[in-house]
Amino acid sequence: MAKAQNPKTVEAYANAISKLKKEIATLGQNAPALQPMKRQFDGLGNSINMITRDLPAFTFSAQTGFMAISNNIPMLADEIARLTARNKELLASGQQTKPVWKQVLGSLFSWQLELR
């Protein structure tokens, strides 16, 4: 590996590295505050995405279309049941909930679905 010969270049790199180390240390101090922002798997959005992915099968025939989406409907029902149970748990603990229908509509009009 070649070494820098110019003292100004060496000094500039040393300054840049020290600034980066300070930034990394600052980010490390804020890491616990960032933990609640972790993303979770969106099962509802995924199941709606899978159903809409199979909608073009209806162009061949209604039977083909229903066969295509029939594999994904149980997953959608499971996700809706999971959200309903989660809302009941949140209500029991006194926390605020988001209605299931709003979550379904949010998944229907999400940017992932619109990109299809």
Tokens of 103: 């979550």
Q: How far apart are CA 100 and CA 84, in angstroms?
A: 7
Instruction: Give the predicted TM-score (pTM) of the model.
Output: 0.60
Q: How far apart are CA 111 and CA 83, in angstroms?
A: 21
Assess whether pLDDT exceeds 90 at residue 81.
yes
Assess whether pLDDT exceeds 60 at residue 88.
yes
Assess whether pLDDT exceeds 80 at residue 1.
no
pLDDT digit string, tens, across residues 7-55: 888 888 889 999 988 887 777 666 665 556 556 778 888 899 899 999 9
Q: How far apart are CA 83 and CA 102, in angstroms?
A: 11
- 22 sits in which H/E element: helix 7-34
pLDDT of residue 23: 83
